[in-house]
Structure 1
Amino acid sequence: MSTAITTTLETDNQPTSELGSSITCISGYLTGIHARDRTPDEGGEGKVFVVGWEGDNDPLKPHNWSIPRRVAATLVVSCIAIAVTAASSIDSAVLPQSAAEFGVSDVAGSLATGMFLMGFGCGALFAGPFSETFGRNAVYMSTMLLFMIWIMASALAPNIGAQIIFRFLAGFFGSTPLTCAGGTVADLWDPLEKTFGFPLFAIAGFGGPVLGPVIGSYIGPGAISWRWSEWIMLIIGGLVLSIVFFFQPETYAPLLLSWKAKHYRELTGDDRFRSEMEIRTTTLLQRLMTAVYRPFVLTWTEPIILLMSLYLTVIYIVLFTFLDGYTFIFSDIHGLSQGLTNILWLGMLIGILSAVVLVPVVYKWTRAEFEKVPETERATFKLHPETRLWYAMLGAAPAVPISLLWMGWTSYPSISLWSPLASSVLFGYGVMNIFISAYMYVIDSYEIYAASALSFVAFTRYLAAGGMTIVGIPFYKNVGVHWTLTILAIISAIMAPVPYLLYRYGVRVRRFSKYAVTRA
C-alpha cells in the first residue's frame, strides 16, 4: 500500500491539470488531504500535501471522542486548576504564624499571597504561544514541574524576601497550565456542549482559591509548622502531574494533525505531507511578542473586553480581600478561632457549586437556539455570543452587591454568624456565574483573538487582586467591616448592569469592533 501511495505522490513535475487525477488516486488510500502549491510566505517551492481531518466525524478529532473520555479529560484539567489556584490562597490561612517566624507584620506577610497573584497575571500573557507550539500536555507537565519547584522553594524560604520571590515565580508558572486549561475545554466541546463543558472546568478553577484556606485551616494553629501549607500543595501538585502524565490525552488539534502528517511521511517516505501547524513560518518569539502586546492593543479599542476586565477585576478584588476580611468578620466580631474561621470558606464553596443548577436550564435554552436552525446548517452554525450571558443574568449579577450588603450589615456580635455565612453562599453563587458568562462571552465574541482577550482579562484581575490583598488588612482595620463591604457592594452594583446591557446592545457594539465577530 505504501508503495502505491508513494507512486501517486510523485507529482512535482506533473502539469497542474494532472495533479487533480493524482490526488484522486491518493484519496483512494488516504482521506483528509488537500494538495496545493506552497505560498511565497511559507518558504520553499513546489507542492505540499496538507493533512487535515477525515471529515467531520473523524474519530481522532477530540470533538468526536466519547463523552466519558471528554469528561475525564476535562476533569483532569479541573484538577490542575484546583492545584494551582488553591496554592494562591493557602498562605492566608497561616499568615499569623509565617509573619511571626519571619519577624514581619501581617501586612508584609500578605505579600506572599499578593505576589503569587501578580505572578499569575504576568504568566498568563505567555501561555498561549507555548501551547500553540508544543501542545497542551507539554505545557501542563513542564510548567507544573516548575510550579512545584518554586512551591518547594517557598516551603524552604529562609526569610520573607525569599518567600515573596519564590511565591511570585510559583504563580508565574502556575498560571500557564491554568490558562491553557481553557484551551483544552475548547478543544473538547462544540459550542452547544460547551454550555456544560466549560462550567465543569470553571467551577473547579474558581473553587480552588476558596479551598486553599480550608486545606490550610488547622496547619498554622496546629502542631505542625505553617510550612506544611506549601508541602501539602507540593504533594497535591505532584499527584496532579502524575495524573496528567499517565492519563491525559493530547487535545490540541493542530498538534494531533502534525503527528498524523509525520506518520504519513514515515509511511510513504514523502516529505511533502505537512499539517498547517508545520507549514506556518511565524516563530515562537514572534508569537510571544504578539501575545504580549496584542492584549493591550485590544483593550483600548474593545469596550467588551474593557467592561468584562473591569467586572472580573471587581469580583476578584472582593474575593481575595476576603482572605484578610474573614479574620475581621468571623474572628474579631464572632470570636471564632483561626482554624474555624478558615473552615467557614466552605459556605462560599457551596455557593460556587450551586452554579450547577443553572446548567440544565441554560443548556435547554441554548439547544433551542440550535433547533431553530435547519439541520443541514447546524454543523456550521455559531451561537450569538450574547446567549452566553444567561448565567450572569439569572440572578448572579445582583447577587454580589446584595450578598456584600447582607454580610456587612449583619456582622455584629448580637446577630448569629449564620447570617454572614449564608450571605457568603449567595456571593459564591453570584461570582461563579459571572465568571462563567464573562469567559464564554469573550471567547465567542472574539474567537481567533480570544486568547489575547482572555490574557488581558487574567492579567488585570490578578494584578489588581494581588495589590488589594496586600492593602486588605489596613482597609478592613481602618474603615471597618461594615463600610468596607458597603464600598465593595457599591462598586459591584455599578458593574451589575453590564451583562444586561451587553445582552441588549452587544450586537451593536460588536458591529463597530475591529476584532469581534459581527454575527447578530
Structure 2
Amino acid sequence: MPLTEEDYESLRAEANADPERYRQWDPQGKFRKEYADLHAKDEEAQKQEQEQDQEQTSRDENEIEQLPTASSSSSVATSAQYEGLRTRPTATLRRSGTLYSHDTDLYRAETSRINGPLETHPAAIERIYTHRSQHFGTVGSRASTKRKEFSLPKFGGGKPYPPALPAKEEYVVEFDGHDDPSHSQNWPLKKKLAISLIAIWCSLAATFGSSIFSAAAVGVDSEFHISQEVGTLGTSLFVLGYAFGPILWAPMSELYGRRLPIVIASFGFGIFAIGVATAANVQTVMICRFFNGLFGSCPLAVVAAIFADMYNNETRGLAISCFSATVFMGPLLAPFVGGFITDSYLGWRWTMYISSFMGFSSFLLSLFFLDETYPPLILVAKASELRRVTKNWGIHAKQEEIEVDFKELVVKNVGRPLRILFTEPIVLLITIYMSFIYGLLYTFLTAYAIVFQEIYGFNAGVGGLTYCGCSSKPFFLFHVVSRTAGLEVPLKQYSLLLSVIQFFLTYPKEALLTSKPLLVGLVIGEIIAFILVVLTNPAYVKKLKANNNIPVPEWRLPLVMVAAPIFAAGLFWFGWTGYTGKIPWIVPTLSGLFTGFGIFVIFLQLLNYIIDAYLMFAASAIAGNTFLRSLFGAVFPLFASYMYKGIGINYGQTLVGAVAVVLIPLPFIFYFYGKKIRARSTFAPAPDIEQDKRKDEESNGSSQTNKTAEET
C-alpha cells in the first residue's frame, strides 16, 4: 500500500530533524525524491497560491498603512513592524479578509546552531537531534500541507502585530552540553532508581487491577444474580479499556510530558475502582471496570517512555526488561490476593478497595515525588525560568511551538496504526502471535481456577497461589496449612497476615519444606527469561557497535526460536497433567516454568523486533499491536470457560497448544526471510539492507578496479 501525503510529510519532518541519521537510512534520497514528485504534480495550484499571496501582501500594505497611531513615533514602529511581517522568513502570517494561516514551513528545523561551541560532544548532538525528532513526531508540532485558517484577534491598544524574532533559532533553549545535570539521563542514580520504582509501582497497580476481579467474579455473580459469563465481562471490559487508552495517553505524554498523564490516570484509576467497590448494580460494575482499564492503561503506554528518557542505550534494555516483567507480574499476583480476600469476611468488594488503594498511592507518589523526565518539557521549564529572570520574552523551548491538530492526532493514532497493522505482513503476523500469548495470559485465570479449585479442591485463595505463587513465591504455605499440616485457618476470624504468621510460628518446618518446591512456575519462568535476556544483551550491543549502530531486526529472533517450542510444550504439559486429580498438584504447577519463560521471551523480543524493523514508524506499529493484543485479552476469557468445561482441560489445552505449535515456525521464517520481506515493505526503511547494498557496490567496484589494473 503506497505512502500517503501525511506519511511523506512525517518522513520529511523526521529527515529535517535528524539529517545525518536519515542520510544513513536513505542514502539514495528515495523518500525525498518521492516527496518532491508528490508536490511537483501540484505546480499549477502552487502558482495560483503564489498569485493569491501577492494579492494578500498588497492588501496587508494598504491595511497596515491605515492603522491608527497613538503618536508620531508609532508611525516608525508601524513601518518597522510591517517590514518585519513582510520579511518574516518562516512564519509569515497571510491575511485573507479576517483570517490568517501559517506558512507550511513554520517549524522547519535549523541545524546550523548545532555546530556551536556548546554542542561539540557527540552525545549532545545526538540528544539535540533526538529532541528535534521527537518534536517533529509530536502531533501538531508542524504545519500540515493544507493551510489551516483561523480567526486572529486584534493585537489590542490600537497596535499592529509586532515583527518576527530576527533569528528565531537563537531564542530556542537547548541543554548545556552532553553532561547538563538537568537532562534526565544525567540525574544521579539514586534519583533515577527512585523514579523507576514509582513508575514500576504505577504499572504494577494497573496490571494488578486487571486480574484481581477474576477472584471477585464469583461474589459478583451471586450478589447480582448473573451468569458466570456476564461476570467474566468485568475482566474483559477492563482489558478492552487497555485497547483504547493508549490513543489518549500516548499523544498526551508527547504534548504535556510523562508526569501529568500518570498523575491524572492514577487518580482516575482509583476513583473508578471505588466505583466498582460501591456499585449498587451490575451495570455500574461493568461501566466502571471499563474506565478503570482505560485509566489503568496509561502506565503501560508511558512508563516505558520514562525509562527511555532516563537511561541511555547501554542500560535502557535492562530497564525496559524490568518494566516488562512487572507488566506480567501484576496479573499473576492478583488472583491469590483476591481469592483470599473474597473467601474472608471482607468479601469481593474489598478486592476493588485494595485496587483503589494501590491507585491512590500511585497518585500520591507521582504527584509529590515523580519528576518530569521528558527532555522537551524539561527545556520548557528552563525557558520559563530564563524568561522570568532575563525578562526576554522571546526565549522559548521547541515544545512550546506545538499546536494540537485533531485531524493529525486521529490519523497518527488511529488511521496509520491500523493501516500498518493490516498491510504489513511482519506487523500483522507478529501481532497475531503476541495477541495469542496475551489472550492466554488471561485465559489462565479460568484454566487455573478449574484445575486447582474444581479438580484439586483448593479454595479461591489457594487456587490463586498456584497461578502466581506456584510460580515462584512461597505463598503456597496456605495450601500447606489446609493439606499437609491438617489445619484449616479460620480466615473469617483472622486477617491474612495474622494467618501467615500463626502458621509459620506453629509449623515452621512444614512451611519451609513444603513451600520449597513451589519456588517454580510462571514467575520463576519469567525470572529465568529475564536473566537470559540480560545476559545476552551485551552480545547484542557488541554486534550493534560493529555494525555502525545500525540495527538488524533479525538479531532479536534467536531467543524467540528457542522459547516458542518451550512455550507450546508448557501448554501441553499443563493440560495433560492438570485434568485429573490423580496426578500430584505440583506437576501441573511446574508447567509454569515453560509457559512463563515462553511468555516473557516471546513477548519482549518480538516487541523489540517490530521497533528495530520500523524505526520512525515503530510508534504506529506498536499502537496497532497494542490495540489488537488488548482485544484478544478481552475476548479470550469470555469463551475460556465454555471451552474447558465443554471439552475438558486436557483437550482445551491441546487446542491452544496446537495453535502455539502452528506459530512456532514464525520466528524461523522471519529470521531467514525477514530481510527480503522488509525490502518490499512500504514503511520499513531497512537501513541494514541499504548498508549491505553499499558494501556490495564497493566490493564490486574494487574488484572491477583490480581486474582493470591486471588487464592493464
Give the shorter-chain TM-score range: 0.7 to 0.9
Residue 521 (structure 2) pairs with residue 353 (structure 1): no
Question: How far apart in 2 are the matches of 1:365 and 1:174?
Answer: 35
| Bigger RCO of structures 1 and 2 (CA < 8 A, at least 6 apart) | 1
Residue 236 (structure 2) pairs with residue 114 (structure 1): yes
Question: How far apart in 1 are the matches of 2:528 and 2:277?
Answer: 34
Question: How far apart in 1 are the matches of 2:142 and 2:441?
Answer: 51
8 A contact 1:86–1:208 mirrored in 2: yes
Q: Number of paired residues?
A: 494
Specify every segment of 5 or more residues in structure 2 that has no aligned partner in the other structure, as ranges: 1-83, 90-109, 130-140, 149-162, 472-521, 689-712
Deviation at 1:461, TM superposition (A): 1.3
What secondary structure, in the 3-state scheme, does the structure 1 residue paired with 2:380 have? helix
Alignment-derived partner of residue 564 in structure 2:
397
Residue 427 (structure 2) pairs with residue 305 (structure 1): yes
**Which of 273-282 and 126-135 deviates more?**
273-282
Question: How far apart in 1 are the matches of 2:406 and 2:174?
Answer: 23
Deviation at 1:102, TM superposition (A): 0.8
What letter is aligned with 1:418? I
**Which of 125-134 and 53-62 deviates more?**
53-62
Question: How far apart in 2 are the matches of 1:509 and 1:66?
Answer: 43
Question: How far apart in 2 are the matches of 1:422 and 1:310?
Answer: 27
Residue 664 (structure 2) pairs with residue 496 (structure 1): yes
**Which of 218-227 and 352-361 deviates more?**
352-361
Alignment-derived partner of residue 224 in structure 1:
346
Specify every segment of 5 or more residues in structure 1 that has no aligned partner in the other structure, as ranges: 1-11
What secondary structure, in the 3-state scheme, does the structure 2 residue paired with 1:368 have? helix
What secondary structure, in the 3-state scheme, does the structure 1 residue paired with 2:343 have? coil
Question: How far apart in 1 are the matches of 2:545 and 2:552?
Answer: 14
1:48 corresponds, among 164, 168, 183, to 168
Alignment-derived partner of residue 456 in structure 1:
624
8 A contact 2:233–2:638 mirrored in 1: yes
**Which of 65-74 and 186-195 deviates more?**
65-74
Alignment-derived partner of residue 408 in structure 1:
575
Q: 1:413/1:265 Cα in 2 relative to 1: closer, same or farther (>3 Å)?
A: same
1:469 corresponds, among 623, 637, 657, to 637
Question: How far apart in 2 are the matches of 1:243 and 1:313?
Answer: 32
Q: 1:445/1:59 Cα in 2 relative to 1: closer, same or farther (>3 Å)?
A: farther
Question: How far apart in 2 are the matches of 1:204 and 1:249?
Answer: 21
Residue 463 (structure 2) pairs with residue 341 (structure 1): yes
Question: How far apart in 2 are the matches of 1:341 and 1:155?
Answer: 23
Alignment-derived partner of residue 443 in structure 1:
611
Question: How far apart in 1 are the matches of 2:240 and 2:88?
Answer: 59
**Which of 237-246 and 281-290 deviates more?**
281-290
Alignment-derived partner of residue 254 in structure 2:
132
1:453-503 CA deviation, whole Å, 9 max, x = no partner?
222211111112211112211111112101110111111122223233323
Deviation at 1:98, TM superposition (A): 1.5
**Which of 496-505 and 459-468 deviates more?**
496-505
Question: How far apart in 2 are the matches of 1:15 and 1:511?
Answer: 43
Query: How high is the TM-score relative to the length of structure 2?
Result: 0.65
**Which of 212-221 and 82-91 deviates more?**
212-221
Question: How far apart in 2 are the matches of 1:39 and 1:150?
Answer: 36
4+ residue segments displaced more than 6 Å: 12-16, 26-29, 31-34, 38-44
1:231-266 CA deviation, whole Å, 9 max, x = no partner?
001111122222222222211122122222223333
Of structures 1 and 2, the larger Rg is shown by 2
Question: How far apart in 2 are the matches of 1:460 and 1:336?
Answer: 34
8 A contact 1:192–1:363 mirrored in 2: no
8 A contact 1:195–1:362 mirrored in 2: no
What letter is aligned with 1:225? G
What secondary structure, in the 3-state scheme, does the structure 1 residue paired with 2:210 have? helix
Alignment-derived partner of residue 409 in structure 2:
287
What secondary structure, in the 3-state scheme, does the structure 1 residue paired with 2:551 have? coil
Deviation at 1:202, TM superposition (A): 0.6
1:359-393 CA deviation, whole Å, 9 max, x = no partner?
332122123224536xxx6xxx3432333335434
Question: How far apart in 1 are the matches of 2:330 and 2:322?
Answer: 13
**Which of 487-496 and 56-65 deviates more?**
56-65
What letter is aligned with 2:534? P
Query: How high is the TM-score relative to the length of structure 1?
Result: 0.87
Percent identical pairs in the alignment equals 29
In the TM superposition, 1:42-441 aligns within 5 A as: 45-46=164-165, 47-49=167-169, 50-283=172-405, 286-345=408-467, 346=469, 347=471, 348-372=522-546, 381-393=549-561, 395-411=562-578, 412-441=580-609
What secondary structure, in the 3-state scheme, does the structure 2 residue paired with 1:158 have? coil
Deviation at 1:115, TM superposition (A): 0.8
Question: How far apart in 2 are the matches of 1:268 and 1:496?
Answer: 63
What secondary structure, in the 3-state scheme, does the structure 2 residue paired with 1:168 have? helix
Alignment-derived partner of residue 483 in structure 1:
651
1:313-337 CA deviation, whole Å, 9 max, x = no partner?
1101211111111122122222222
8 A contact 2:181–2:187 mirrored in 1: yes
Q: 1:305/1:334 Cα in 2 relative to 1: closer, same or farther (>3 Å)?
A: same
Question: How far apart in 2 are the matches of 1:441 and 1:277?
Answer: 30
8 A contact 1:325–1:481 mirrored in 2: yes
2:673 corresponds, among 480, 505, 515, to 505
Q: 1:73/1:511 Cα in 2 relative to 1: closer, same or farther (>3 Å)?
A: farther
**Which of 120-129 and 151-160 deviates more?**
120-129
What letter is aligned with 2:678? R
Deviation at 1:39, TM superposition (A): 9.5
What secondary structure, in the 3-state scheme, does the structure 1 residue paired with 2:314 have? coil
1:173-225 CA deviation, whole Å, 9 max, x = no partner?
11122211122122223333222121111100111111111221211111111
What letter is aligned with 1:339? G
Q: CA RMSD in A?
A: 3.0
1:7-64 CA deviation, whole Å, 9 max, x = no partner?
xxxxx89999xxx9x989x9799x9999xxx998799844313323333333322233
What letter is aligned with 1:358? L
Q: 1:304/1:257 Cα in 2 relative to 1: closer, same or farther (>3 Å)?
A: farther
**Which of 165-174 and 216-225 deviates more?**
216-225
1:379-413 CA deviation, whole Å, 9 max, x = no partner?
xx3432333335434x3221211000011111222
What secondary structure, in the 3-state scheme, does the structure 1 residue paired with 2:168 have? strand
Q: 1:383/1:289 Cα in 2 relative to 1: closer, same or farther (>3 Å)?
A: closer
**Which of 305-314 and 224-233 deviates more?**
305-314
8 A contact 2:307–2:320 mirrored in 1: yes
Question: How far apart in 2 are the matches of 1:39 and 1:359?
Answer: 39
Deviation at 1:350, TM superposition (A): 2.5
Q: 1:170/1:138 Cα in 2 relative to 1: closer, same or farther (>3 Å)?
A: same
1:430-459 CA deviation, whole Å, 9 max, x = no partner?
101112112222223323322222222111
What letter is aligned with 2:632? A
What letter is aligned with 1:417? W
Question: How far apart in 1 are the matches of 2:389 and 2:523?
Answer: 52
8 A contact 1:152–1:230 mirrored in 2: yes
8 A contact 2:142–2:402 mirrored in 1: no
Deviation at 1:284, TM superposition (A): 5.6
Question: How far apart in 1 are the matches of 2:558 and 2:374?
Answer: 28
What letter is aligned with 2:230? A
What letter is aligned with 1:85? T
What letter is aligned with 2:533? V
